[in-house]
Structure 1
Amino acid sequence: MTEKNYLTIHSLTALPWHNLNRDDRGLPKQVREGGKTRGRLSAQSLKRAIRVAYELDSFTDATKSLRSRALPEEIVRRAGVIAVTNGVEFDEKSALKIATKIVKSLTANDKDAAESEGPAKEAASDTMTWLSADEMDALAGVLGSANGTGGTIKAADYIKRQTGSLSIAAFGRMFAAQSDLQTEAGIAVGPATTTHPIMIEVDYFTTVDDLGGGGAGHLGQAFYTSGVYYRSVTIDKKQLRDSWTGWTSPDAADRLELLVRSIVTALPSGKDNSTAPNTRPALILAETQSHRTAYEFHEPVKADFEGGYLKGSIDRLIEQATQARAFDPSEFGESFVSGTSVSADLTIGFEYSAASLPQLTKRIVEWLQR
């Protein structure tokens, strides 16, 4: 029997008036599916939201990571603190050259990295690099030591394929120039799309100039939509175990639980303060699988007689999950159901365990740690 190595979290979330993820025109992102225009939250925006939610609530700075073009400056800042603490003379300009070369060696070939030291070539690469706190601290420790500006410092001595950052292990990172150091993602995130067609609404607004004697000081327009979004996130237990080094740490279960909670609840933050569409998932179906399996809404859900797409979306998702088990019973293992719209009259044609959000996250973490 094929091992159930994957766990996919399917969710349906009804989002009121919002523009959480917009395109280059300021419109809510869209996709054409089943001949209809649907709302879309990109996978990239969802991964960013999950990572930020997880790291904002992380227990120590040591669990956090940074993805930036300015990592050399951050490493040098940390090195300067270490040097002052140790009473070591510190040459910030020289340290920045070394840090820049180290970071760029991950994303540019040796020739590009060497040439990028000159002031006129500082912008040789616009690539953002993602490092964990412990990796930055390790490099800073060398630069901030008595011999930190002498000799050759190799990135591979301090940055490994396996990482102590659960965020990096979850979503993976690529180093174009040193592929043997890049981290494979343990989690696959699909875009969230509405289960039905959407409309884009235009909001005409004005701002009042408090010192201008009344009247509008600015006129403008913004774009919004609403809908029921389906998304799926699949955790590859084997890959996550291979990418993350923190499995034996005392707070491993707490960190995993926080990540799972972020996966379930986090949303992109576009125009968040203007609309505050921070609703909780109406339905969550988490199921262990032999292979990555998601569900689809290619044929758009029709509105209920009195309006609304939520009930029809929930029924469609449960129906597909039931049909998938009938088609290939060996594909699925444990199933957990949660969400704000789960009630006693919800008919589910397969075995499952009902769970609150804390119970759901705990059970998923128990599965991960088996």
Structure 2
Amino acid sequence: MSLFLEFHLIQNFAPSNLNRDDTGAPKDAIFGGQRRARISSQCIKRAIRQAASEYDLLPSENRGIRTKKLQSLLLERLSDRDLEEAKGKVAAALSAAGLKLKDDGKTEYLLFLGENEVTAFADLIQQHWDDLPVGGDKKSKKDSKAAMPAEITKQAKALLDGGKAVDVALFGRMLADLPAVNKEAACQVAHAISTHRVEREFDYFTAVDDRGDEDETGAGMIGQIEFNSATFYRYAVLDVNKLRKNLQDDRELALSSVAAFTEAIARAIPTGKQNSFAAHNPPEFIGVSLRHGSPLSLANAFERPVAPRAGKALTQQSVEHMGTYEEQLAAAYAAVDDQWLYLDLTGSWPQSKGDKASSLPELVQKVSHLVDRKLGE
């Protein structure tokens, strides 16, 4: 049975520059023939991972880390060993798993590993310290393979199983040299787009030198920052069965992951230029739909952009447009047993559509109970 847990958020940000392009301007996109503000999916995923860590929503052993500095992480866990000898042992163990280190000690590309995978590598090195060849990264690939005991090679490759890291299970990973350990993402995250047309704005700023002389009347520094303010539609879909499979069929961990993700996606706010703008604005609406057929994004509710109206907030209008469009879409494509849960601060979502929560903790609890019941069927 297909179980897709969808998240539909309406979130208004005050003037800000949360996600910049290569020129420093807020990212945008043309949608429905109109320019919209945009926050990239990669930016949102990182904000979700940061929120999960900041609010301690998951045990540390069930988190992942994205880094090129795997050698340094392992050396920290091998601090009781001689440093130079440990470097050689680390290089040999990673080589056995198919991972290479460059001359600066970093991996060739960013690795997305679970904390348990890192710990398991350190344990493997400690256990087979005397059997691991020294300086494996300085030998040819052929020589390194010949010098490595076959049992260690087998164990090293088996360690890359995802380590029950929830963020790895959610967002997946691809290791070009080791396709066998790739993880297909259980969660897809859309680029957030504004529900209305947006124009870029410019902040011309000056800075005064606190120690300037009396005859220095000009600014010590001048510049400009681009920014915007927008009401965003955010969407993500989580394949519950895929998440459970990625977590090695650990049902309880899958349930706690759903709860953690529900809270993290609500609290996720990108950090770009926050010291300049402090746009800490939580969502006005969070809708969670459990789909039994196929996922249904509601982005096209805003193909025709919402227009400002006197006495009516853009967030309120956006929720209304989304509710109307969802009814039309659901009539044609939704399964009869699809369900909605929601938290609505605008008062614009149809009360007959789903089970209303009055707070984020209550919404998280309702989502957990719903998924728990469905997994038990």
Normalised by the length of structure 2, the TM-score is 0.83
State which of 204, 220, 231 in structure 2 corresponds to 1:228: 231
| SS of 2:310 mapped into structure 1 | coil
Query: How far apart, CA to CA, are the structure 1 residues paired with 2:92 and 2:53?
Result: 28
Shifted more, 198-207 versus 151-160: the winner is: 151-160
User: Is the 1:203–1:221 Cα contact (8 Å) retained in structure 2?
Assistant: yes
User: Is the 1:325–1:332 Cα contact (8 Å) retained in structure 2?
Assistant: no
| Equivalent position of 1:159 in the other structure | 160
| SS of 1:216 mapped into structure 2 | coil
Q: Is 1:313 the equivalent of 2:313?
A: no
Query: How far apart, CA to CA, are the structure 2 residues paired with 1:331 and 1:93?
Result: 64
Query: How far apart, CA to CA, are the structure 2 residues paired with 1:197 and 1:29?
Result: 14
State which of 90, 98, 110 in structure 2 corresponds to 1:99: 90
Query: How far apart, CA to CA, are the structure 2 residues paired with 1:198 and 1:29?
Result: 11
| Equivalent position of 2:140 in the other structure | none
Moved over 4 A (4+): 100-108, 251-255
Q: CA deviation at 1:307?
A: 6.6
Q: Deviations over 1:275-327 (max 9, x none)?
A: 11111211122111111110122111111134742222111100111112222
| Equivalent position of 2:244 in the other structure | 241
Shifted more, 347-356 versus 180-189: the winner is: 347-356
Q: Is 1:275 the equivalent of 2:257?
A: no
- Which amino acid in the other structure matches residue 226 of structure 1? S
Q: Aligned ranges for residues 30-41 of structure 1 at < 5 Å?
A: 30-41=28-39
| SS of 2:317 mapped into structure 1 | helix
| Equivalent position of 2:355 in the other structure | 353
Q: Deviations over 1:94-152 (max 9, x none)?
A: 432443465577786xxxx4xx56x4x867x6410011111111111232446266253
Query: How far apart, CA to CA, are the structure 2 residues paired with 1:271 and 1:46?
Result: 15
Q: Is 1:336 the equivalent of 2:327?
A: no
| SS of 2:207 mapped into structure 1 | strand
Query: How far apart, CA to CA, are the structure 1 residues paired with 2:323 and 2:168?
Result: 32
User: Is the 2:93–2:125 Cα contact (8 Å) retained in structure 1?
Assistant: no
Q: CA deviation at 1:170?
A: 0.8
Query: How far apart, CA to CA, are the structure 2 residues paired with 1:363 and 1:104?
Result: 46
The 1:157/1:91 distance shift into structure 2, 3 A limit, reads farther
Any unmatched runs of 5+ in structure 2?
A: 134-147
Q: CA deviation at 1:359?
A: 1.9
Query: How far apart, CA to CA, are the structure 2 residues paired with 1:347 and 1:30?
Result: 27
Query: How far apart, CA to CA, are the structure 2 residues paired with 1:24 and 1:198?
Result: 19
- Which amino acid in the other structure matches residue 116 of structure 2? D
| Equivalent position of 1:194 in the other structure | 194
Shifted more, 185-194 versus 163-172: the winner is: 163-172
The 1:11/1:307 distance shift into structure 2, 3 A limit, reads same
Q: CA deviation at 1:16?
A: 0.9
The sequence identity of aligned pairs, in percent, is 25
Q: CA deviation at 1:352?
A: 1.0
Q: Is 1:127 the equivalent of 2:109?
A: yes
User: Is the 1:23–1:29 Cα contact (8 Å) retained in structure 2?
Assistant: yes
The 1:157/1:31 distance shift into structure 2, 3 A limit, reads same
Normalised by the length of structure 1, the TM-score is 0.85
Q: CA deviation at 1:246?
A: 7.7
User: Is the 1:206–1:216 Cα contact (8 Å) retained in structure 2?
Assistant: yes
Query: How far apart, CA to CA, are the structure 1 residues paired with 2:97 and 2:128?
Result: 25
- Which amino acid in the other structure matches residue 257 of structure 1? A
| Equivalent position of 1:207 in the other structure | 207
State which of 283, 298, 306 in structure 1 corresponds to 2:303: 298
Any unmatched runs of 5+ in structure 1?
A: 85-89
Query: How far apart, CA to CA, are the structure 1 residues paired with 2:33 and 2:96?
Result: 46
User: Is the 1:106–1:176 Cα contact (8 Å) retained in structure 2?
Assistant: no
| Equivalent position of 2:177 in the other structure | 177
| Equivalent position of 1:140 in the other structure | 122
Shifted more, 277-286 versus 360-369: the winner is: 360-369
| Equivalent position of 2:53 in the other structure | 55
Q: Deviations over 1:17-71 (max 9, x none)?
A: 0100000000000001111110000000000000111123335432332111111
Give the CA RMSD over aligned residues. Answer: 2.6
The 1:349/1:64 distance shift into structure 2, 3 A limit, reads closer
Q: CA deviation at 1:176?
A: 1.1
User: Is the 2:37–2:194 Cα contact (8 Å) retained in structure 1?
Assistant: yes
User: Is the 1:73–1:96 Cα contact (8 Å) retained in structure 2?
Assistant: no
